[in-house]
Structures are given as C-alpha cells and as structure tokens.
Amino acid sequence: MLGTAPSPRTRALRLGAVLAGALLLITAGTAAGTAQSWHRPGSGHPGGGHRSWVGTWAAAPTAAPQSATPVLEDETVRQVVHTSVGGDRMRLRLTNEFGETPLRIGEVRVALRDGSSGTDTEPGSDRAVTFGGRTPVTVPAGAPMLSDPVDLRLPPRSDLVVSIHLPERTPVTTLHGSSYQENAVAAGNTTGEPAVTPTATMTQWYFLSGVSVRARGTRTGAVVAFGDSITDGAETTTGANHRWPDLLAERVGARTGVLNAGISGNRLLHDPNPPEGGEAEAYAAFFGQSALRRFDRDVLTHPGVEHAIVLLGVNDLGHPGTATAPASETVTAEEVIGGHRQIIARAHAAGLKVYGGTILPFKGDTFGFYSAENEAKRQRINEWIRTDGEYDAVIDFAEAMRDPDDPQRLNPAYDSGDHLHPDDAGMAAMADAVPTRLFRPGKRH
C-alpha cells in the first residue's frame, strides 16, 4: 500500500539527519587521523612501527627588565640549542608570551651546526621553517607559535642552529635570560648563510622556547627538569652543555627527551618583586613567573612529556630580606611544602609521574641565603620530600651533593665557589643521582 508523501518539513528533517551523520563520520575520521599524528608516546601508528612527537629541547621564557631590553632591527638572531632525543622531522616553538605587541618575523631557518663551537652551519642541512605553510609570520602578543614540521633528520644530542630574521624594530620582550651558550646577532637577513659575521653576541635565547622531533621505530617520551638556577646551569662552562639535565640526557639514552625548564632565580611561590629603587630592578624580571604560575606552560605544553623532576625552594628560602625580594615574602617550610603538593596534584591530573628533588645545602653561600632558620626549613622540606610519599619517587640531590664533613655545606669537590651552585663536576654528580629506571617505558613506581 502506498503511503502518504512526506511533507517538505519532514524531508528537510531527514536530510538534516543524514548530513549530521555524514559530518559525524568525517569529524571522527579527522579526529582519529589527528590522534595518530599527535598521540602521546606508546600508541601505535598505521604503516608500521611507532611514530610520535616528543620534545627534545626547551627553554622557559621570561620577560626582560625594562632597563635591559635589547632592541633589534633588520637583524638576524642566530641561536644554538643542544638536543636530547633525535628524530626524522622537527618543529619549533617560538614565543611572544611576554610581548605586548605582535612579533613580526621575516624568515626562520634551521640547520645542523658545523663543529662544536660558533654558529656556522653544516653544508646541505639548511631548511626553511614555515608556519601554516607560509613566511613571514606574525606571532600575536602574549602567544606562542608552533611551526610546521620540517624535513630535517636531527640526531640525538646534536647542536641545532636556529636563525630568526627580525625585519622591523623589535624590542626583545620574551627571552630566556641565561643560556650558558654563546649566540649571535648579525646585520640583515642572514638566515640562510652558512657563516655570519656577528655584530653582537649574547648568552640568552630570544623568542625561542622549544624544539620537538618526530621519533620513529621506538617508543619515546620526555622528562621535564623543572627548577631554578641549579637546573638552568648556573656557573657551568659556557657552550659545554654541562647542565645536569644535559648530562642526564646522555645517561637515559635515545628514547627519552630531556627538557630543561629551569630559570635562574625562580621561586616556587612568588613572582619577581624587587624592592623599589634597588639594584635588583635591573635583573629580577629574568627570575620568571612563580613555578606555580608557569607549570602548565613550561611542563605540560611540550609534546610527549611523561615525567617531571622538581627541584625548587632554595630561592623561596633565600630571596626574602635580600636585595632581590622584600622580607614580607618570607615563607614557612609548610608553605613551600604546600606549593610542592600543588605541583604534584597538577602533574598527576595531567597523567605525569613527578619526582621530588631535595634542596641542596648552602651554608656559607655568598648570596646571604643561609641562616639557622633557613637551614631548619630546608631540613623540614627535605624530610617531607623523602618520607611523605606524595612524590612518585625521590631524587636525593642533597645527599649526593653534601660535604661529608659538614652536611649543611656543598661538597667542596662540587662547589663552583659561591657555595650554592655546583660546578661542572657537581652537575655530573647530580645527573648520576637520578635513577634512569624511572624512565623505562611501562615502568611502574
């Protein structure tokens, strides 16, 4: 029996349902493709083997003090970064996160470094970097910018030269203040030149906060070293890559990226707050936002991160009452422990394993940090890290670095001379104190 012909409204509803179903299938297929290309380490990829993006280098960005803001115009910044894990493709993360105006970039190119010093590039390795298929590019104020993948095979623990041309007058408002690596500025657009004549050199990184690679054939993840100047590499030999995270990368092998998110002068609980009119106004901005404020940006946004090592608290104890912070910001041990608990909770919420590093001894330091009261706080914080069980594992840096004859002091064999920061040998001892079993794929702690 023939039915009644559907009304125009009914036909429209049926057509809408069909189109919605088709759109759902298309969206699901697109999402699946995206997940295959940008999955967390450990998931498979069609076509054979594993393929995942993972961070291989990082630098935590900060603002620049108004009195110490470099200005560039029609110049190329040529910067060297030392990778950890390798891959067959790579991409950059640029940053204008402390800029109040758009950052206009004329051209970006990358290449392998030719030799172990300088910024000369290896013949045949130079590649253009694009953003959404194009250059030049404008990075919005307050934002980062990820590049398109670049077809450059990047070996593990190699040196990459990143060249950024800034065609307009550009204040360097976003940077990493202490690179312990000599970089260069050259006149004009020299991004594609194998060698340049520097007009200036600096030991900072400008507008650059991350490099990631596509790792193939093995399961690959990353660990972030989240800390202050001791993690940043203070007092280590410039250009030697002797920061303890670099040396840890040599120990953990080719399947684990190690990202350095240390900032010299960084505190767990407070942003920079130099006393008005004091000398620290000229440099305190380099200390970076508090670890609690910057954790998501400097840890969670890097691809493939599965672990974090936290070494923070000495500046929270030492800065207040000195030239760098007011005495009103004096903290208790329990307040520092509360900050650590927040880091643990946020790491676990993101699915990361997080490991607590004990605060190194600093009796007799040249910065005025030490007092009997601060030592008692350090002991309380370290006792909590060691015994409370909230961290997934403990890395006892304090035990590895203490003076056997006076545990409140840094071991003289590892002392850079300021009785707070380890030297190159001390950095190696710190790297040796980290159990590499923590980063084995599938390891449960």
Same domain, 232 and 345: yes
- What pLDDT shows up at residue 28? 34
442 located within any domain = no
- What pLDDT shows up at residue 191? 98
Same domain, 345 and 203: no
Which structure tokens are listed for 35?
């997940």
286 located within any domain = yes
Rounded mean pLDDT of the chain?
A: 89
- What pLDDT shows up at residue 34? 31
26 located within any domain = no
415 located within any domain = yes
Question: Is it the case that residue 206 has pLDDT exceeding 60?
Answer: yes
- What pLDDT shows up at residue 133? 96
| Strand ranges inside 35-168, DSSP E | 51-58, 62-63, 71-72, 75-82, 89-95, 103-105, 107-112, 127-128, 137-139, 144-146, 159-166
In this structure, what are the phi and psi dihedrals at residue 181, rounded to the nearest 5 degrees? Answer: -150, 130
Same domain, 236 and 375: yes
Same domain, 264 and 137: no
Q: Calculate the alpha carbon distances from 211 to 59, 60, 214, 266, 293 in Å.
A: 9, 12, 11, 22, 22
Same domain, 270 and 415: yes
CATH number at residue 397: 3.40.50.1110
Same domain, 163 and 269: no
20 located within any domain = no
- What pLDDT shows up at residue 325? 97
Q: How many domains does the chain fold into?
A: 2
Q: Which residue has the higher pLDDT, 255 or 318?
A: 318
Q: Which domain holds residue 111?
A: 55-214
Same domain, 280 and 249: yes
pLDDT tens string 399-442: 999 999 999 999 999 999 999 999 999 999 999 999 999 997 65
SS3 for 412? Answer: helix
Question: Is it the case that residue 20 has pLDDT exceeding 50?
Answer: no
Closest by CA to 160, choosing from 84, 256, 255, is 84
- What pLDDT shows up at residue 217? 62
Domain boundary, last residue among 185, 214, 243: 214
Question: Is it the case that residue 279 has pLDDT exceeding 90?
Answer: yes
Domain boundary, last residue among 186, 214, 242: 214
Closest by CA to 288, choosing from 319, 257, 309, is 319
Mean pLDDT computed over 193-207: 97
263 located within any domain = yes
- What pLDDT shows up at residue 440? 79
Same domain, 203 and 259: no
Mean pLDDT computed over 238-249: 98
83 located within any domain = yes
Q: Calculate the alpha carbon distances from 234 to 58, 265, 269, 365 in Å.
A: 16, 10, 21, 14
Mean pLDDT computed over 262-271: 98
For residue 190, what pLDDT band results from cuts at 50, 70 and 90? Answer: very high
Same domain, 244 and 349: yes
Question: Is it the case that residue 51 has pLDDT exceeding 70?
Answer: no
- What pLDDT shows up at residue 242? 98
Q: Calculate the alpha carbon distances from 315 to 268, 362, 369, 403, 424 in Å.
A: 8, 11, 8, 21, 21
For residue 30, what pLDDT band results from cuts at 50, 70 and 90? Answer: very low
Same domain, 120 and 238: no
Tell me the DSSP string of 222-269: EEEEEESHHHHTTTSPTTS--SHHHHHHHHH-TTEEEEEEE-TT--SS
Of 116-120, 227-231, 259-263, 388-392, the poorest mean pLDDT is in 116-120
Same domain, 289 and 373: yes
Q: Is 21 left (phi over 0), alpha (psi -120 to 50) or beta?
A: alpha
209 located within any domain = yes
Mean pLDDT computed over 165-184: 98
Mean pLDDT computed over 207-224: 89
Domain boundary, last residue among 196, 214, 232: 214
Same domain, 284 and 401: yes
